[in-house]
Amino acid sequence: MTTTQLEPAAALSGLRASKPERVTIVVLSGDMDRVMAAFIIATGAAAMGMPVTMFFTFWGLNALRQPGAATSAKDWMRRMFGKLNRGGAGSLPLSRFNFGGLGAWMMKKVMAQNKMPGIPELIETAQDLGVRMIACTTTMGLLGVTKDTLVGGIDQLAGVSTYLNEARQGSVNLFI
Amino acid sequence: MIQSDVKLDTLGYFCPMPIIMTSKKIKELLAGQVLEVISDDEGIKKDMPAWCQTTGHEMVGMEEDANGAKRVYKAFVKKSSG
């Protein structure tokens, strides 16, 4: 076994001096891989001491829905949407090679073998690190997603002004 | 050989877990104490200095242990007083 001393200053040379700055992420996609990327960035940023706000809209809301929760929307069209559009952080499809869920299942298997956290664990970690999560009320209404069918710990139900108010103070604003 | 006060084993974990585990562990240290983060994720070579630069903790040094094709990295982080 040989031990080499590495020079951390070399890795730093390419980075600009910076203080912790605000990060906002709009999560529109409900694909497992994209939501995973969003949470990896969010948890990483939070671990660096940066305040992070995630804004979930459209299919991104699926990551925050309780698994198997029924919609409590009254009209049939939104009830249909709620039924067809399966929620739950543990059952999101892959954006490619999903094969009716087989691809996502295999990906989760490989991830678990490699000690990689799945989306439910990443959500837990994010909440633990103080990542703020906002669910978009407009798309909740459109998709028949109601507050009582979301997982606990959602900080706010809000709209675009709330997001923009955060984003204008953000130095990293992402749309996934 | 750099001396550490506390060791954190993150072997087998990929990004972002070593950084998240580090950010949690460092809270248990007193200012000035050195945390040794042990990782086999090569990304740590760049990620730990970047994490230190953003959080203000001091990157004391890093070691790479080579055992055949297997690489183990040890990052030494001194907790800041801020």
Q: What is the interface pTM, i.e. ipTM, of the complex? A: 0.81
Confidence band of A12 (pLDDT split at 50, 70, 90): low
Residue A86 pLDDT greater than 80, yes or no: no
Task: End-to-end CA distance of chain A: give it in Å, rounded.
Answer: 43
Confidence band of A14 (pLDDT split at 50, 70, 90): low
Domains of chain A: 21-90+117-175 (3.40.1260.10)
Nearest to B27 by CA among A147, A129, A167, A149: A129
Best probe of the A interface among B54, B57, B77, B79, by most A CBs < 10 A, is B54
Omega of the bond leading into A67 within 30 degrees of 0 (cis): no
Chain B nearest-CA distance from A49, in A, is: 6
Pairwise CA distance, residues B43 & B18, whole Å: 10
Active-site residue, B15 included: yes
Percentage of residues of chain A with pLDDT beyond 90: 57
Pairwise CA distance, residues A153 & B14, whole Å: 26
Contacts of B14 in chain A (CB under 8 A): 114-116
By CB atoms closer than 10 A (0-12, 13-18, 19+), residue A100 is exposed
| Superfamily of the domain at B6-78 | TusA-like domain (3.30.110.40)
Structure confidence at residue A20 (pLDDT): 60
Q: Count residue pairs from A and B with Cβ separation < 8 A.
A: 85
Question: Could you say which residues of chain B have pLDDT below 50?
Answer: none
Pairwise CA distance, residues B58 & B2, whole Å: 14
Contacts of B45 in chain A (CB under 8 A): 6, 11
Interchain contact, B23 vs A48, CB within 8 Å: yes
Structure confidence at residue B50 (pLDDT): 92
Structure confidence at residue A5 (pLDDT): 83
Q: Write down the catalytic residue from B2, B7, B11, B15.
A: B15
Residue A15 pLDDT greater than 60, yes or no: no
Pairwise CA distance, residues A153 & A39, whole Å: 15
Q: State CA A75 to chain mean position distance.
A: 29
What residue spans define the domains of chain B?
6-78
Three-state DSSP at B74 gives: strand
**Higher per-residue pLDDT: A83 or B65:** B65
3-state secondary structure A36-100: HHHHHHHHHHHHCCCCEEEEECHHHHHHHECCCCCCCCCCHHHHHHHHHCCCCHHHCCCCCCCHH
Taking CA–CA distances from A9, the nearest residue in chain B reads: B49
Give residue for tokens 């630069």.
Answer: B53
Question: Which tokens is A68 given?
Answer: 């198997």
Beta bridge partners of A172: A23
Confidence band of A13 (pLDDT split at 50, 70, 90): low
Interchain contact, A1 vs B48, CB within 8 Å: no
Structure confidence at residue B15 (pLDDT): 87
Of A12, A47, A49, the CB nearest to B20: A47
Three-state DSSP at A158 gives: strand
